[in-house]
Amino acid sequence: MSRPLALVAGAGGVLGGSLARQFSGSGYEVVGLRRADCDLADGDAVAQAIAALIERHGPVDTLLYNAGHLAVAPFLELEASALRECLEAGPVGAAHCARAVLPGMLAVGRGNLLFTGATASLRGSARFAAMATGKFALRGLVQSLAREFHPQGIHVAHVVLDGMLRGSVAASRYVAGEAPVMTPDGVAANFLWLAQQAPFAWTQELDLRTAWEKF
């Protein structure tokens, strides 16, 4: 029997790597979609890239949408493109990917759409106006997809990373010294858990934190 296909969008970072390894190690075939492969903000490009993947590997069982854009600055000093880039890496790219994989999932009545959120998905903050805009938007999209596609057998979940990842660009910029961070493998294991939850007891939103996160 062929292995289920996991598609990692935003495969370039540390979490993308852990997700690929863990899903691969648990019986999935894993393919990645990187910025170099196609512009996530371009709906036609995403549709073509994913159609090509499906033609080669078969329908997607699990979408792991893990793209994001880092922009931290006082509101009046944000670069002109920051808000647009946060929206494109967030809800716009996510909607394009969901649209491309959903028909194949609906045809078999199963599948997983899993999206990576952040502290900024739940709370706005000074210096995080652009990121909170993008991450709130993604959460609103994911909740809407869950309500629409859960009854059709598609598990739609949002994973809120309320803290930083060891080895990430964000941690290298913003975490000082011995401050606690989450391990990418510890985080990735939870996406695998979500993909395997029993269908009559699905999680829609999962938060993950270090033991020291203030939340």
* Residue 65 three-state SS: strand
In this complex, which beta carbon is closest to its own copies, that of residue 36 or of residue 201? 201
- Residue linked to tokens 């292995």: 3
The minimum distance between CB 67 and its own copies, in angstroms, equals: 15
The minimum distance between CB 89 and its own copies, in angstroms, equals: 13
Cα torsion 87, 92, 98, 101: sign: negative
Burial (CB count <10 Å: 0-12, 13-18, 19+), residue 35: middle
Instruction: Check residue 38 and report its DSSP letter.
Output: -
In this complex, which beta carbon is closest to its own copies, that of residue 76 or of residue 176? 76
Rg (CA), the chain: 17
In this complex, which beta carbon is closest to its own copies, that of residue 29 or of residue 207? 207
The minimum distance between CB 176 and its own copies, in angstroms, equals: 17
How many CB atoms lie under 10 A from the CB of residue 126?
A: 8
The minimum distance between CB 43 and its own copies, in angstroms, equals: 7
- How far lies 206's CA from each of 41, 192, 201, in Å? 26, 12, 13
In this complex, which beta carbon is closest to its own copies, that of residue 35 or of residue 127? 127
The minimum distance between CB 156 and its own copies, in angstroms, equals: 10
Give the whole-angstrom CA distance, residue 43 versus residue 80. Answer: 22
- Give the bridge partners for 65, in sequence order: 9, 115
Instruction: Check residue 182 and report its DSSP letter.
Output: B
In this complex, which beta carbon is closest to its own copies, that of residue 53 or of residue 92? 92
